[in-house]
Structure 1
Amino acid sequence: MKQLFDNAGVAHVQTSTIELPAAELATEVAYIRSDFKGWMRDKFDLHPNQEHQLEIMPDDFAQRLANAIADHYEQRVAVQFYKETRAEDDNKDLKDLILNGMDQVTYTLGSEPSVAVPELAIWIRYKRTI
């Protein structure tokens, strides 16, 4: 069943995802990495305006976001998520999507690079109605 794209809906999707058996989690993580926008459409009941915003999200930004989320789910860690809400969910609002804690790569000469996955936080903030 699709969830609303709000704080409760995202929490439900995250909990059900990180509790999947290992093989199913690996499949889900691969889906997030390969088709993040499709995964969002499958998991969330998006309003037409949310669908449009997902569609116009730059592919490189979506891929970085997908990898950060997948990295956390792979480790069975939920992402901190907070979305401000409006009384009218499908208004055309100008929003900021703020991400904190993307992957950090460390390389020590003579060794393999290691990737630290810091805590990821996503905040969707409304700026004004357009």
Structure 2
Amino acid sequence: MKKNFDNTGVVSFQTELFLMSIIQRQDMMDLARTDLAKLLLDYFYMSPSQQAYIATMTPAFKMTTGNGIAETWESGQYIQFQKDEKPPDDHYKDLVVIDPAMINNIADQSDQEQSVPIRLPISIWIRYQLQ
């Protein structure tokens, strides 16, 4: 069943994801990696403007964001998702995606044999600013 694309809906979706069988969860992670747009459109209610935005996402953005989402889930963590309330006035919409894996997530680089990659969760923030 589709969820609302808001804070509560995303948490509910992820809770259900972690209750799925390993095979079902892997299928969902594979979908995030291969077709992020399909995952969003199939599992969340999207307004026409949100659907249009998804259609304009670049392949590179979908790939890096989808990989970050899948890796976060593979590590057993929830995506950090925050969607602010849309103001009634004219506004700009920002999508801020922070993937710590793109920065550097090595616990100790001085000893490569003992260093362990750490997967910090990807963070997605949808915010609005007045014009």
**Does the pair score TM above 0.5?**
yes
**Within the alignment, does 1:18 sit opposite 2:18 as a pair?**
yes
Q: 1:37-56 alignment to 2 at 5 Å?
A: 37-56=37-56
Structure 2 residue aligned with 1:31: 31
Letter aligned with residue 80 of structure 1: Q
User: Counterpart of 1:123?
Assistant: 125
Distance 1:118 1:42 in 2: 26
In the superposition, the TM-score normalised over structure 2's length comes to: 0.81
* Shift >3 Å, 4+ stretches: 104-111, 113-116
| 1:78-121 C-alpha deviation (Å, 9 max, x unpaired) | 01111011266xx985311112233136588987x975322322
Q: Counterparts of 2:18 and 2:3 in 1: how far apart (Å)?
A: 16
CA-atom RMSD, angstroms? Answer: 2.6
Q: Which letter maps to 1:15?
A: T
- Which of the pair is proportionally richer in strand? 1
5+ residue gaps in structure 2?
none
Shift of 1:66: 0.6
Q: Give 1:122 deviation, angstroms.
A: 1.2
2:96 alignment partner, one of 87, 95, 98: 98
Alpha-carbon displacement from aligned partner over 1:31-59 (angstroms, at most 9, x marks no partner): 11111100100010100001111111121
Specify every segment of 5 or more residues in structure 1 that has no aligned partner in the other structure, as ranges: none
Other-structure match for 1:7: 7
Moved more, 64-73 or 120-129: 120-129
Give the 3-state SS of the residue equivalent to 1:116 in structure 2: coil
* CA contact 1:101–1:119 (8 Å) conserved in 2: yes
Asked if structure 1 preserves the Cα contact closer than 8 Å seen for 2:69 and 2:79, the reply is yes
